[in-house]
Structure 1
Amino acid sequence: MAAVRFPRFRHPAQLVMAGFAAVITVGTALLMLPASKAGPGSASFLESLFTATSATCLTGLVVVDTPVYWSSFGHIVILGLIQLGGFGILTFATVLIVLLSRRIGLRTRLNAAVETKAIGLGDMRSIVLGVIRASLLIEGLVAAVLVERFATRYEMPWPQALWHGVFHSVSAFNNAGFALHSDSLMRFVTDPVVSLPIVFASIVGGLGFPVLYELRRRFTKPNGWSMHTKIVVWASGVFLLGGAAFVTAVEWSNPATLGPLNVPGKLLAGFFQGTMPRSAGFNTVDIAEMNTATWLGMDILMFIGGASAGTAGGIKVTTFAVLFFVIYAEVRGESAVNIFNRRLHGDVQRQALTVVLLSVAAVTTATVAFMVSTTFTLDQSLFEVISAFCTVGLSTGITADLPDPHQFLLVILMFIGRLGPVTVASALALRSRRRMYELPEERPIIG
């Protein structure tokens, strides 16, 4: 009897892509079961595939009404896919950092270990278990707050409050954006006890385990943080506060969004909605009724996304920050790019540029496809494409109305957007090619 051969993966990124594809396949099959659908019959293949991909890739876009269309079993399947997707991204990205650290010289590794006290190069098993423990701890804390609020303020039966609290906590920490209400979280627009824990969970999940690990150990000593942690903390703070201020200012008088609220309500709703484009995907106001200027600003925020090695999507704030400092150094005429008193390696600059240009190409191509074959406007098409590719989950309300080929295109975008930048970056960072000669140098005219 011939031995069974399993596929060999030459690169860690291939393994994680195969794993995510397998989870999506199993999730699609489970959602196609009659037990997963609330009504008679069973879900179609595309509805199941779209929902399974959106949950596993931590996106939140839906083509059916999640709380109405799916049964309790279906909701459990969706929650399981979200949790598996979150564990997969956090674990792979964290282990990838350890693998990258093995490729640098011993002296550099020792200096970095002494200076940052960050994740070491030891047991992979302890790293993976650390990711799982941290995830469950944060999800548990947020769930406890939500459960108590749902039961006491909104008079939910305790079993229902427990289920809603756990589901929304897991969805928030993993930046998935799935909710058990047809209006997402619009009914809680002025309730800080619901809104703020959701925001907290999405921000913490988007920071990434390496940053959380370092902050836990050296929170009071920011001068000793690694370059990565400094970039993530400062850039995340700028985009979170800047996004909240932008959304609040532009929507302040909009009668369909923030206009009817009092001042505290406007500030809370603006802060909540301004933080969601980093990849969380919930909404407490109607996205479809927002000003087009707000959509454009949210397009930018969604495209940048959250931090590397976290559950957030986008090109990542670290990628954006690297390119910002490259431009800053070039404008100042400096020969090297320096960030927080450290020189940036040239390979990182090329990797950041590659990720950004490939992402721009994907978004542009898909948007053009939407424009030439649907009746939706450029604003709506661009918003939908960026939301899918950057795994955000916010929508102007057109997802369910898209033709089947365009929904399938969003499935591809969600898969590529969740794993594409990670696999491209890791492939570039882990490869090793040494040229034994150098070609003659020449400079083309730029600009």
Structure 2
Amino acid sequence: MGRIFISAGHGSRVNGITDPGAVVAGTTEAREMILTRDLVVTELRSRGVEVLSVPDNLNASQAISWINSRARPDDVALEIRADAFTNPSVRGATVYFIANNDQRRRNAEQLLLALIRRVPQLPSRGARPDTDTGLGSLPFTRQIVCGSLLMTIGFLTNPDDRFIIQNQRRDVALGIADGLVAWVRGTALPPDPNAIVYPEINISINGQVYGEKGILVNGNAYVPIDLTDRLGLDLSREPNIRRLNYRQVVFIKAVDLRDYTIAVGWDAQSRTVLLRSILKVCPGALDRIMGNGNTTSVQLIMFLKSNNEAALTQFPQIADLYRQEGSIEGVNYDIAFSQMLLETNYLRFGGEIRASQNNFAGLGDVGGGPQGASFPNAQIGVRAHIQLLKAYASTEPLVQEVVAPRFRFVTRGIAPLVDQLSGRWSADPQYGVKITAILRRYYEMAQIL
């Protein structure tokens, strides 16, 4: 049986100074990984496994040389790290292996499974080839002469992961030790006596039964990630998708698909999760401003009235106007209508702009007046809104005479997607997200999505 080399990433010294790695919430990556590494070493030795701890006073290249000068063909090497990201919601563990090596991929999957068994609260981000990293390769997986893997235990920038690393350190160490022992001995992980069995559920996509089953986890429907390819989505690298490894299949939470143009429902009687993709728009085109709308005037009116029963009292033709004016200029009137609902609070107004101004999208006046632009009637107000959207989303000329006061000041075609209106049309960085959320809601109500 071979030996195990284990290194605590970012615990090295560079030019005589300790490299702390990520520094978060009063701790450092180096500190947390060294403490975890030491527990792993202790656990491995208690099991009679020969383990060599890479000295912490070596830099990355020296650590690789240190291992290579001692390694034998049947030895294995692991470096453990913690990750960090600007978005604190991103979390989970990953094991990286050298690309195009199926044996090393299986080792990585086994090591990750062992960790998640011991710490099920830690999400798995999967075993990944080192080509998925920012640099396209990892020295630790490429330059070591024996089999080697690199594990990121979690994200220090995520409070939940940080809590697990600091407060469940022994469980983490036991999981890593389980995986390393199975790897170096060339054996499978022993059966997990505490393995959870999730109840199966059915899956329906656009009214058709999907051949594979989903699972129910704590009341939430999970579906195999492979089915998203059928829906025209690639979620394999999306950082905010919750993944769950279960019986060698990766599952994702069904409700998360709502952010990707998929409607999600549930039929309790048949225990079926109902997935419906948009039928008239190609996946990914939901947020493109230039294009055709998909709803009828009746559908727009029904959605508007469901949110404001009195909405049509002053503007009875508002749905027809948006469909008409949007179609003339080639602007997706569904998007324009959603923006109008956001800006006017479903035609309640109540802000600086009054209903009498016929200004449905917070259009500013060239003179810079505090109350924005005013228009003689609802049709001209809608037309101005559509024209300004076209200015942002397209370089094509207007079909009708310009009535939008600030049309000529917009850099044409600068924002073809809804989210690109954020920070331009409105200072709100979530402006585009809010418009799209409204759009999805009434597409779901209209059974389009």
Q: If the length of structure 1 is used for normalisation, what is the TM-score?
A: 0.24
- Decide which structure has greater strand share: 2
Kindly name which structure, 1 or 2, has the bigger radius of gyration based on alpha carbons.
2
Higher relative CO (Cα under 8 Å, sequence separation at least 6) belongs to 1
Q: If the length of structure 2 is used for normalisation, what is the TM-score?
A: 0.24
